[in-house]
Structure 1
Amino acid sequence: MKTEVKLNRTLTLWQVVFIGLAWMTPMIYFTTYGIAFEASKGMLTQAYTLAFAVIFFTAFSYGAMSRRFPNSGSSYTYAGKGIHPKVGFLVGWSALLDYLFSPLIAYLMFGIFMHAQFPNVPAYIWILSINIVLCVICILGVRFSASLSTAFVLLQICFILFFCAILVKHLTAGGVTDPLRPFLQTEVPLSVLLTAASLICFSFLGFDSVTTMAEETVDAGRTMPRAILAIILIASALYISTSYLTQLNFPNLSLAGDDASFELMRMVGGAGLSALFVTVLVFAIFTQGLASLTTVTRLLFAMGRDSVLPRNIFGYLHPKFKTPALNIVLVNVFSLLALAIPLDTAVKFVNFGALTAFFFVNLSVVSQYYIKDRRRSPAQTVRYLVLPLIGAIIVGWMLTLLDVNALVTGLAWILFGAAYRAWSRKRQAEVPAGTANAES
């Protein structure tokens, strides 16, 4: 009888936290600085505070479902078990847009950025290089990936703290006239801040990704909710404090465009800080690619193990490293699209997939806890009905803010998934029972 190879439960709380932060990439605050600054009319502190409030409801729902179902699969598992398996498949299929294109975006950004720094080396060389390196690292095991993620995330956090320390030093020298102004200004309309917050919410993506590694986490039912909360709180503290100190130092700052972060570095710390920024940013992009590759391969593994994708391919684990090696190779082959696809197109896929998953995870909490488990005391009604419904409404509103092309493409992807699932089930029904059992 063939022994089933299982994922190893080795990840601790803080390893999970750092993998989530690696996917999120704390340095994304600077890479999106120009866009966020322009969208919020310079009121980044209020915009990030609103974004934290918005994303908290969905983070709570992920925590609740990860406690109830400590399995790999994330939104696919939660919607499938909380609502219905057919809904779970479509949610997992939608989430694939987020997870599949995330490593591709990291590879593409790495290629673009490194080519800008070293113009004599073509971008495709950098893209192919990071593709191969991350493929090998991920196959070697999640614990090794977690160690690298921890080191590189700590490097990013240290840089942000150093940046904030310079800002504090400037404030100490010049004095602060109105310390509450970044939070209390009323010059920018609330509608503008809400629109900016909807954009900034994507800086928090990553807390959800760690739930795909539940079966590689020690005591996942307790660890995952704590990890999600820690990821959100750490990221919020970094983003809001950096925005606050920057606004105090430069109340009349006006920056926009892709080079806004480089201009900010020169203003705060000159050429030395700019050079350090470039170095840390390279490691940040590398780490994000590693974390996102780890995430998507675990989602594919969960769908393969459930036979909603071909099990002999997607449900395969390497007998020695206990990693979904075939998934890792396949995702890296898919990520070669980074050689041809535009960055903004890839981002649209990620946005649609993430928001769709968020919407249904919120509804899964209501379905599982409030309806099926009948947890309806006053406190439970707030936790399992009111909070997740608020989260679903907010995420639904954010979906309407996506452009038409993103919505049309996303819906087409879902329809394709539904057609594939119908064909797959029909094909499985036509296979003789003995053959099906032998194949699985």
Structure 2
Amino acid sequence: MPVSPSTNQQPQAQLTRVLRLPAIVLFGLTYMSPVAVFTTYGIVDEQTRGHLPAAYVLALAVMLLTAHSYGRMVRAFPEAGSAYKYAQRAFGGHVGFLTGWALMLDYLFLPMISFLLAGIYLHAQFPAIPQQVWSIGLLLIVLAFNILGVKFLSRVTAVIMGATAVLLFLFILLAGTKTQASPGQMFDSFVPGSGQWSLLTGGAAILALGFLGFDAVSTLAEEAHDPRRTVPLGILLTTVIGGLLFVLMAWLGELVRPGGGFADPDSAGAELMNSVGGAALGTAFTFIYVLNCFGSAMVSQASVARIIFSMGRDGVLPRRPFGNLHPRFRTPVGPLVLVSLVAVLSAVLSLNDAVVMVNFGALAAFSMVNLSVIKHCLYRRGHITPLSWLLDGLLPTLGFLSTVWLWTSLTGTTFTVGLIWMAAGIVLLAVITRGFTRRPPELRMDEGEIDAEGEAGADTVGGTGAGAPAGVTAHALRADRKGPLT
């Protein structure tokens, strides 16, 4: 049966397919923020004893495995909801809810971190204006931009990435003339010494935060043209391009400042820029960095709002206001307002307080996506080939093990916050399901409608570019079309 009775009583709101591959990749790269390499540069460089590029290579390898799993699942289910939706389809509503709940810990606090960072940097440049004023002002602008829709966001992200590309080009060009490393030391930062692998693992666990852009891409599946092709490709390109930029920037930084030795690891990025291009490049870096914080907050807010919208549309959260779209802009205003209210905490929390709340949810969700591929694409398949063993068995297993490996490197504070958050989610789930005696409300799809390869069944509409996720019946789609989608 295509939809559950509760879903059939109320037509489902549908997002609008307006994004193509370039816009999707720009969205992901803006989320990742290429200049984010300088946010944790001094901290991780100090922790890895000058082997920051090696830590980035390790983090990139782990993230590519998980990015592959996201690509496999988005081909099967081209819907908003990301890890929540994939775990729901593979393991049922309870596991899906808890996966989405874990991911929301990550996404709810990511915009707040961006507002905090932007406020800190702008306050340093303009001390007369308090950091909180900058943070709240940017929050309101981001909320307004998100209400206008992802098509508008794609134009803003293009401008941000263009400015960022200019800064990175200048850094690469100037760093090549400022290298302090001898020819024999050029690649030392990629080769850890004996006993340093544990340091690299801890560093890679911190750096994993910078790769969350590929997960954000998966939340755009209902707004992408031909999502089974463009979204998996966008996930891969975002991960590879962003990861290689991180590695390159880290390597050039090590050539300019071998061994680090920064006065303040928290501001190592600005210090490095001053070493490369003087005060002028340092000032430009501050401006572009704030611009990237703005862009990252904008797209991360858009992503988590779509996860909350997906859960509200399915009835896991209240449909009003979380499962409805703005009648004119076709954007999830209720979830956007909720995320903005959480981000107001940027006025009272410190940066350290916010950061410890993020990585737990991300790595938990990544682990579940890898397991979802094994369950949905391999376990349910009637005929298993050597290629399916590789794509849906070995690679997701390696992805799962590697994310668990990074998970064990998180701090005790991160685990404490994460476990408290998960306990709250279990309590909420118990209330929704009346003591786990009922299944959580969810959009149900006949297993024959989408197979492990993501092919739409003959009696579904939408699929690729029709304006609705595969598996929604023609009746439900017609009932929802109360006006043109823009």
> Could you say if the C-alpha distance between residues 47 and 427 of structure 1 is closer, same or farther in structure 2, counting changes exceeding 3 Å?
closer
Q: Describe how 1:210-249 pairs up with structure 2 within 5 A.
A: 210-249=217-256
Change (3 A) 1:121 1:191: same
Matched-pair contact (CA < 8 Å) for 1:266–1:274:
yes
Matches within 5 A, 1:89-238: 89-170=97-178, 176-184=183-191, 186=193, 189-238=196-245
Q: 1:158 to 1:380 in 2, by over 3 A?
A: same
Whether contact under 8 Å (2:102, 2:422) holds in the other structure is: yes
Q: Point out the more displaced range, 321-330 or 186-195.
A: 186-195
Counterpart selection for 1:260 from 265, 268, 287? 268
Between the aligned residues of both structures, percent identity stands at 37
Cα gap change, 1:131/1:375 in structure 2, threshold over 3 Å: closer, same or farther? farther
Per the TM alignment, residue 30 of structure 1 is displaced from its structure 2 partner at its CA by 0.9
Give 1:157 deviation, angstroms. 2.5
Q: Residue 54 of structure 1 aligns to a residue in which SS? A: helix
Structure 1 residue 330 corresponds to structure 2 residue 338: yes
Deviation at 1:308, TM superposition (A): 0.1
1:42-79, Cα deviation, whole Å (9 max, x unpaired) = 11221211111121111111111111111000000000
Q: 1:424 to 1:262 in 2, by over 3 A?
A: same
Q: 1:72 to 1:3 in 2, by over 3 A?
A: closer
Aligned to 2:283: 275
Structure having the higher helix fraction is 1
State which of 392, 413, 420 in structure 2 corresponds to 1:384: 392
Aligned partner of residue 316 in structure 2, secondary structure: coil
Question: Could you say if the C-alpha distance between residues 246 and 340 of structure 1 is closer, same or farther in structure 2, counting changes exceeding 3 Å?
Answer: closer
Tell me by how many angstroms 1:143 deviates. 0.5
Q: Report the counterpart of residue 416 of structure 1 in structure 2.
A: 424
Q: Tell me the CA shift for residue 264 of structure 1.
A: 1.0
Q: State whether structure 2 residue 330 is matched by structure 1 residue 302.
A: no
Secondary structure of the structure 2 residue equivalent to 1:270: helix
Q: 1:436 aligns to what?
A: none
AA at the equivalent of 2:219: T
The amino acid that maps onto 1:159 is: L
AA partner of residue 392 (structure 1): F
Distance 1:188 1:150, change over 3 A: farther
Q: List alignment gaps of at least 5 residues for structure 2.
A: 1-8, 439-479, 481-486
SS at match of 1:426: coil
Q: CA deviation at 1:250?
A: 3.6
Partners of 1:106 and 1:404 lie apart in 2 by: 23
| CA distance in 2: counterparts of 1:426 and 1:2, whole angstroms | 22
Number of residue pairs the alignment of both structures matches: 430
Query: Quick one: which amino acid aligns to residue 394 of structure 2?
Result: V
Cα 1:180–1:122 shift into 2, 3 Å: closer
User: CA separation in 2, counterparts of 1:328 and 1:143?
Assistant: 16
> 1:138 & 1:336 partners in 2: Cα distance?
16
Checking the alignment, whether the CA contact within 8 Å between 1:137 and 1:145 is kept in structure 2 is: yes
CA displacement, residues 384-437 of structure 1 (integer Å, 9 cap, x when unaligned): 11111111111112222222232222222222222212212339999xxxxxxx
Q: Measured at CA, do residues 121 and 82 of structure 1 come closer, stay the same or move farther in structure 2, by a change above 3 Å?
A: same
Cα 1:64–1:338, aligned 2, differ >3 Å: closer, same or farther?
Answer: same
- Cα separation, 2, equivalents of 1:311 and 1:305: 6
Q: Distance in 2 between matches of 1:206 and 1:275?
A: 26
> Given the alignment of the two structures, is residue 76 of structure 1 paired with residue 106 of structure 2, yes or no?
no
Letter in 1 for 2:357: F
Answer yes or no: is the 8 Å Cα contact 1:73–1:302 preserved in 2: yes
Q: Deviations for 1:73-130, whole angstroms, at most 9, x for unmatched residues?
A: 0000000001222100100011110111111111122222211211111122112211
Q: 1: distance between equivalents of 2:181 and 2:191?
A: 21
Question: Which residue identity lines up with residue 268 of structure 1 in the other structure?
Answer: V
Say whether the 8 Å CA contact 2:50–2:189 is kept in structure 1: no
Question: After the TM superposition, which residues 58-77 of structure 1 pair with which residues of structure 2 at under 5 Å, given as runs?
Answer: 58-77=66-85
Cα deviation, residue 170, structure 1:
3.7
RMSD: 2.3
Which residue number corresponds to residue 52 of structure 1? 60
State the alpha-carbon separation in 1 of the partners of residues 410 and 181 from structure 2. Answer: 42
CA distance in 2, matches of 1:278, 1:95: 30
1:13 aligns with 2:21: yes
Change (3 A) 1:185 1:124: closer
Other-structure match for 1:433: none
- Cα distance in structure 1, aligned partners of 2:326 and 2:214: 27
Alignment check: 8 A CA contact 1:176 1:248 kept: no
Asked whether 1:341 is paired with 2:361, we answer no
Match for 2:415 among 402, 407, 411? 407
CA distance in 2, matches of 1:158, 1:276: 10
Most deviating of 60-69 and 153-162:
153-162
Q: Deviations over 1:194-244 (max 9, x none)?
A: 222222222212110111111011111111110011011111221112222
The DSSP-based 3-state class of the residue aligned with 1:221 is helix
The alpha-carbon deviation at position 355 of structure 1 amounts to 0.8
Structure-2 separation of matches of 1:74 and 1:3: 21
Matches of 1:246 and 1:125, distance apart in 2 = 33
SS of the equivalent of 1:207 reads helix
**2:107, 2:300 within 8 Å by CA — same for their partners in 1?**
yes
Over 3 Å counting, the alpha-carbon distance change for 1:306 and 1:274 in structure 2 is same
Q: TM-score, normalised by structure 2?
A: 0.84
